[in-house]
Amino acid sequence: MSLTLTVDGERWRAHLLATVARHPGIVPVAKGNGYGMSVGRLARRAQWLADHAAETGTDVDLLAVGTYDEVEEAASRYAGDLLVLTPWRPFGAALELDDRTARRVVHTVSRPEDLAALRGRHPDARFVLEQLTSMLRHGMTRRDLAAVAEALGPGRGGLGGVAMHLPLNTTSHLGEVSRLVNDVVASGLPTRTVFVSHLTHAELAQLAAAYPDFTVRPRIGTDLWLGDRGALRATATVLDVHEVERGDTFGYRGRTVPKPGHIVVVSGGTAHGIGLEAPTGDQSLKARAATLARGGLDAVGFVRSPFSIDGKQRLFAEPPHMQASMLFVPSGARVPSVGEEIDVRVRFTATDFDRVVVA
């Protein structure tokens, strides 16, 4: 009776080891909902990768989490250091870490004034400096880096490198990365370590060749944990089946059935992330037309759901409920039985499963 993620353990573990071996210096990322698997489960798996360093040739000595609120869960399952991706600020959960855990944390700093405040509170704090990329989310400009370099003086003062969070471009990032690396050199910062996100394997190789005196550390989440989708299967349980005729009413909103068929009730609703669609960057005419079409269909309840029966996506009978969804299966199509598992296509980063089963 659950929304379940089933993982082919042998295949998934082989993919993890291969990905780590392919990316020396990798920093696994476990944040948010843990890519559908939970931060704690991924932290434990990161420790497993660290324990298998001899097989991959790469020591997984650092795990990235998204926020300070995720540190404790990760720290209890992973023995190495923890890089917090959200920039440090002089308020909130960043100030609430216990001393033992705080010693394992590597902070991200994106403003010169925050670095001064962090070092004032914790003189021995370790940190990386985030550079401002074309994302325009967080980060320091070239002038900011120079100011920090002057403030640090000849010593590293806890500096572990610089970080670049890049956009999801379809074109190469190398031009922007080269400019950012040159900014690091020009600033006089005493570091040659760069943490990067969203670079392809080919781009990482080109970057390493272009800057042989730099250590490039890729932060990888999606491609590591979800890179082999064939190892992952999301399923919902059929909870109830009701035969209906045209004109019958059903659901919260008292809608009427447009033609004979069955209402199939399955596990998985808004509490799991089902039916909650994040905005996309697709601004094409086709995408906008599809959005308008979905809006028109919604008025009569004909919106395609992520649930599939015998390989065919079925329609929502009405918007999903909190923990269940109602589907419409027209007359003539096979009707699944109560207790049967059916496939559901989900966005893992926006889905909370009831159960995660690693086979």
Polymer length in residues for the chain: 359
Residue of 61, 224, 142, 195 lying closest to 204 (CA atoms): 195
Dist CA 333 CA 262 (whole Å) = 9
Give yes or no for a contact between 232 and 20, defined as CB atoms under 8 angstroms apart.
Answer: no
Return the sign of the alpha-carbon dihedral for residues 148, 153, 156, 157. negative
Same domain, 266 and 202: no
Residue 3 lies in a domain: no
Same domain, 21 and 96: yes
pLDDT at 295: 43
Residue 4 lies in a domain: no
CATH, residue 110: 3.20.20.10
Q: Which of 205, 227, 249 is where one domain is finished?
A: 227
Give yes or no for a contact between 71 and 65, defined as CB atoms under 8 angstroms apart.
Answer: yes
pLDDT at 157: 83
Q: Which residues of the chain have pLDDT under 70?
A: 170, 277-302
pLDDT at 300: 47
Q: How far is CA 311 from CA 306, 308, 342, in A?
A: 11, 6, 9
DSSP 93: G
Same domain, 178 and 70: yes
Dist CA 307 CA 234 (whole Å) = 10
How many folded domains does the chain comprise? Answer: 2
φ, ψ of residue 178 in degrees (nearest 5): -60, -40
27 pairs with which residues across the strands? Answer: 219
CA angle 165, 166, 169 (to 5 degrees): 160
The tens digit of pLDDT for each residue in 156-180 reads 789 999 999 998 876 888 999 999 9
Dist CA 45 CA 14 (whole Å) = 12
Dist CA 204 CA 109 (whole Å) = 24
pLDDT at 153: 84
Same domain, 245 and 102: no
pLDDT at 301: 52
Give yes or no for a contact between 34 and 5, defined as CB atoms under 8 angstroms apart.
Answer: no
Residue 93 lies in a domain: yes
Same domain, 242 and 212: no
Residue 244 lies in a domain: yes
Same domain, 33 and 172: yes
CATH, residue 333: 2.40.37.10
Dist CA 240 CA 337 (whole Å) = 8
Residue with tokens 């993982």: 7
pLDDT at 91: 96
Q: Which of 227, 251, 282 is where one domain is finished?
A: 227
Residue 279 lies in a domain: yes
C-beta contacts of 94-99 below 8 A and 24+ residues apart? 94/68, 95/121, 96/68, 97/68, 97/71
User: Could you write out the DSSP letters of every residue in 238-282?
Assistant: EEEEEEE-TT-EETTTTEE-SSSEEEEEEE--GGGTTT-----S-
DSSP 132: P
Residue 250 lies in a domain: yes
Residue 85 lies in a domain: yes
DSSP 88: P
pLDDT at 293: 41
pTM of the full predicted structure? Answer: 0.91
Same domain, 196 and 273: no
pLDDT at 278: 55
Q: How far is CA 257 from CA 242, 248, 277, 320, in A?
A: 12, 5, 25, 16
Same domain, 320 and 341: yes
Same domain, 277 and 314: yes
Same domain, 223 and 338: no
Strand, coil or helix: 236? strand
Tell me which residue range forms the domain holding 255: 231-358
pLDDT at 154: 78
Return the sign of the alpha-carbon dihedral for residues 206, 207, 213, 219. negative
Q: Which of 227, 243, 258 is where one domain is finished?
A: 227
Residue of 84, 29, 53 lying closest to 197 (CA atoms): 29
Same domain, 104 and 243: no
Residue 2 lies in a domain: no
Strand, coil or helix: 347? coil
Give yes or no for a contact between 353 and 36, defined as CB atoms under 8 angstroms apart.
Answer: yes
Same domain, 120 and 249: no
